Amino acid sequence: MKSLKRTRDITPLPSRNFKITVDDQPVDACEGETVLSVLLAANYARVMENDRNVASGAYCGMGVCHCCQVKINAKHKQRACQTLVEPQMSVETLTNRFKEEGIKHD
Amino acid sequence: MKKYDVVIAGGGAVGAACAYFLSRDTDLKIALIDLKKPGNASRASAGGLWAIGESVGLGCGVIFFKTLSKLHSEAKGEEVPVMRPHQLPDCFFEFALTSNNMYPALHQEMLEKHGVDFKFERTGLKFIMYNEEDRLYAEQITQGIPHLADQVRWLDAEELKKEEPYVTDDAIGAIDFICDHQVNPYRLVDAYLEGARQNGVSLYLNTEVTSVIRNGNVVEGVKTAEQTFFCDTLINASGAWANELYQQATGRTMPVYPVKGQIVLSERMPKIMNGCISTSDCYIAQKDNGEILIGSSTEEKGFDTTNSLDKIQELSQGAMKCLPILKESSIKRCWAGLRPGTPDELPILGPVDGVEGYLNACGHFRTGILTSAITGQLMTELVTGKKTTLDLTPFSVERFEEAAQKAG
Ligand SMILES: Cc1cc2nc3c(=O)[nH]c(=O)nc-3n(C[C@H](O)[C@H](O)[C@H](O)COP(=O)(O)OP(=O)(O)OC[C@H]3O[C@@H](n4cnc5c(N)ncnc54)[C@H](O)[C@@H]3O)c2cc1C
Ligand code: FES
């Protein structure tokens, strides 16, 4: 399986690390960091797709703007910047309940 | 100085409906003056047109029942309190149902004549039963309204699952009030106001009525910070604040007071509900834009509009128990509004003995969205001196004076 490379870390990851999956690809993560920091280190800029199918990237990094919502462990709309990584965590970017379930509201 | 035939103080659903119906059916010169105070009930409301549901006390009534049923299980075999749905008197059913019947045509009329859509949806209102106590409660409700039997449908667990697939498997069935529907409450108020504006009503928004001008027993107009408005008739539609203007207009007081209701709103969801739902914990409605609205508490805390964690938790837990899929959704917003409450839960409508040029249109408690239409029609009939569609005696402010005299 292709694994994601963390090319944008500023300091090396501590050795006590584990893997999570992002869009079905394994990637290194370490205790205490957020899902967003993994995504950014692995070169993701577009992370979220909103209910109107517009992509967005994390903006505030502190839980306020809701621009970084991804699917985490099968739950939609989790803020990547406010969720700490855990072993075996599964993250999906650019997913949206409306797109997946094919139902539109307006 | 301005001169109008009618001035309406307050532009929530009730005041806005008065402006719309008066301007539609008469040639009078009308002004509506509204300052949106924190707690404005119409913007806070759920938008349910639950004519039967509210009349039989679902919503706040079930919470009342829950307290009793807790007593029941505690009493265990001893004297059991009688569990009765909290049913409102017949005059209220008539008031609510007459108003309810107006919405399909009003919706068409607003679309065609004024280009506004208040999102009337035929939803029904299902009371979901989890256990035998709930079933007993539902049976008592239906026994209390034999004349409305054709508006009630019983659904067993399987039928319920078919109609509301996301409702928990723990539900044993439901009763469905088929004539209860919903609107988008913001759009309803906006529709009334836009219709009124197109019909020539002068709207003074973000403007407070600071005082009422009274000459002896005649109400002559109102003042705002910048202007004086003279009028032949002042309609007091100022919601939970109505007693303030009433005192100035009549020199007496009336029992209209704020009853806080908190609401929890989810993010937009795909369509997971076909109709509105009431349980013994809360009511749940999916609005036209996909958001799931969960209401509501009933608290007497004065003009306080804060949210509290305990109520938000209770409401959210009640909703997740009914619709487990909500565990997968996020809360988008919480708020609180102030219902204009009265001691007997009936509105206060019409003239006041010994006072000229003044009409009450207030005290609509938890059904002012539903009953705004009939209130607008009744006020129009009163202003034009026509016989009113409904007898207003049970809704007159004098009922409280009589009650006080009897008690005294
Ligand atoms: C949480 C909640 C849920 C509800 N759900 C439903 C529901 O599902 N269905 C239903 O039918 N009803 C519902 N209700 C009840 C309904 O919202 C009210 O009965 C209705 O909105 C009352 O309308 P109103 O126009 O009398 O009052 P409001 O909407 O409060 O309007 C009164 C207006 O007058 C203004 N005002 C007051 N004093 C002055 C002054 N001196 N000068 C100028 N303006 C003034 C106020 O600021 C306000 O804008 C709910 C209420 C709450 C709080
Ligand atoms: S980046 Fe703003 S909430 Fe996550």
- Sequence-ordered alpha helix ranges (H) in B147-288: 157-163, 185-198, 242-250
Contact indicator for B281, B288 with CB cutoff of 8 Å: no
CB contact under 8 A, A98 and B271: no
Compute the distance between CA of residue B131 and CA of residue B73 in angstroms, rounded to an integer. Answer: 13
How much distance in Å is there from the Cα of B10 to the middle of ligand 1?
Answer: 9
Q: Whose CA is nearest to atom 12 of ligand 1?
A: B367
Locate A29 and state its tokens.
């993560």
Q: Which residue of B has its CA nearest to A71?
A: B328
Q: Is the CB of B51 under 6 A from ligand 1?
A: no
Per-residue pLDDT tens over the stretch A39-63: 999 999 999 999 888 999 999 999 9
Torsion of CA B360, B363, B368, B370, to 10 degrees: -80
Contact indicator for B357, B59 with CB cutoff of 8 Å: no
Q: Which helix (H) or strand (E) holds B233?
A: strand B228-236
- Which residues on chain A place their C-beta less than 8 Å from a C-beta of chain B? 51, 75-77, 97-98, 101, 103, 105-106
Residue B21 pLDDT level (bands cut at 50, 70, 90): very high
pLDDT of res. B68: 56
- Phi and psi based region of residue B109 (left: phi greater than 0; alpha: psi -120 to 50; beta: remaining): alpha
Locate B144 and state its tokens.
């209390």
**DSSP tag of A11:** S
Helix (H, G, I), strand (E, B) or coil at A30: strand
Contact indicator for B267, A77 with CB cutoff of 8 Å: yes
**DSSP tag of B302:** T
Residue in B289, B328, B329 closest to A105 by CB? B289
CA–chain centroid gap for B328, Å, is 30
Task: Select from B330, B331, B332, B333 the residue whose CB has the most chain A CBs within 10 Å, as the one to mutate to test that interface.
Answer: B330
Mean pLDDT over each residue of chain B, to the nearest integer: 94
Phi, psi of B173 (to 5 degrees): 150, -170
Q: Which residue has the higher pLDDT, B211 or B58?
A: B211
Poorest-pLDDT segment among A56-70, B79-93, B127-141, B203-217: B79-93
Helix (H, G, I), strand (E, B) or coil at B377: helix
Residue tagged 């679902």 (tokens): B58
Question: With b meaning 16 or more CB within 10 Å and e meaning fewer, what string describes B282-300?
Answer: bbbbbbbebbbbbbbbbbe
- Sequence-ordered alpha helix ranges (H) in B45-172: 51-55, 60-75, 90-114, 132-144, 157-163
List of chain A residues whose C-beta atoms are within 8 Å of the C-beta of residue B328:
75-76
Q: Which of B133, B103, B102 is nearest to B121 (CA)?
A: B103
CB count, 10 Å around CB of B407? 6
Per-residue pLDDT tens over the stretch B129-153: 999 999 999 999 999 999 999 999 9
Rounded to a whole number of angstroms, the distance from the CA of B45 to the nearest CA of chain A is 20
pLDDT of res. B75: 64
CB pairs < 8 Å spanning A and B: 22
Residue tagged 């105070």 (tokens): B37
Poorest-pLDDT segment among A97-106, B11-20, B86-95, B390-399: A97-106
Per-residue pLDDT tens over the stretch B281-306: 999 999 999 999 999 999 999 999 99
Cα–Cα distances in angstroms (integers) from residue B313 to residues A81, B205, B272, B294, B367, in the given order = 25, 36, 21, 11, 24
pLDDT of res. B340: 98
Residue A103 pLDDT level (bands cut at 50, 70, 90): low
Compute the distance between CA of residue B75 and CA of residue B68 in angstroms, rounded to an integer. Answer: 10
Cα–Cα distances in angstroms (integers) from residue B66 to residues B86, B108, B307, in the given order = 12, 40, 22
Q: Which residue of B has its CA nearest to A50?
A: B268
pLDDT of res. B408: 62
Locate B229 and state its tokens.
């408005």
Ligand index nearest the alpha carbon of residue B296: 1
pLDDT of res. B240: 98
Q: Which of B135, B110, B123 is nearest to B180 (CA)?
A: B123
Q: Which helix (H) or strand (E) holds A39?
A: helix A35-41
Per-residue pLDDT tens over the stretch A4-40: 999 999 988 887 789 999 999 999 999 999 999 999 9
pLDDT of res. B402: 77
Helix (H, G, I), strand (E, B) or coil at B153: strand
Rounded to a whole number of angstroms, the distance from the CA of B271 to the nearest CA of chain A is 7
**DSSP tag of B236:** E
CB contact under 8 A, B268 and A51: yes
CA–chain centroid gap for B24, Å, is 23
Could you report the predicted ipTM of this complex, rounded to two decimals?
0.72
The answer to whether residue B78 scores a pLDDT higher than 60 is no
How much distance in Å is there from the Cα of A36 to the middle of ligand 2?
Answer: 9
List of chain A residues whose C-beta atoms are within 8 Å of the C-beta of residue B270:
97-98, 101, 103, 105
List of chain A residues whose C-beta atoms are within 8 Å of the C-beta of residue B267:
77
Helix (H, G, I), strand (E, B) or coil at B144: helix
CB contact under 8 A, B270 and A75: no
Q: Which residue of A has its CA nearest to B286?
A: A105
CB contact under 8 A, A76 and B329: yes
Q: Which residue of A has its CA nearest to B266?
A: A77
CB contact under 8 A, B270 and A51: no
The answer to whether residue B83 scores a pLDDT higher than 70 is no
The answer to whether residue B185 scores a pLDDT higher than 90 is yes
Q: Which residue has the higher pLDDT, B403 or A3?
A: A3
Global confidence as pTM: 0.91
Ligand 2 atom nearest residue A80's Cα: 4
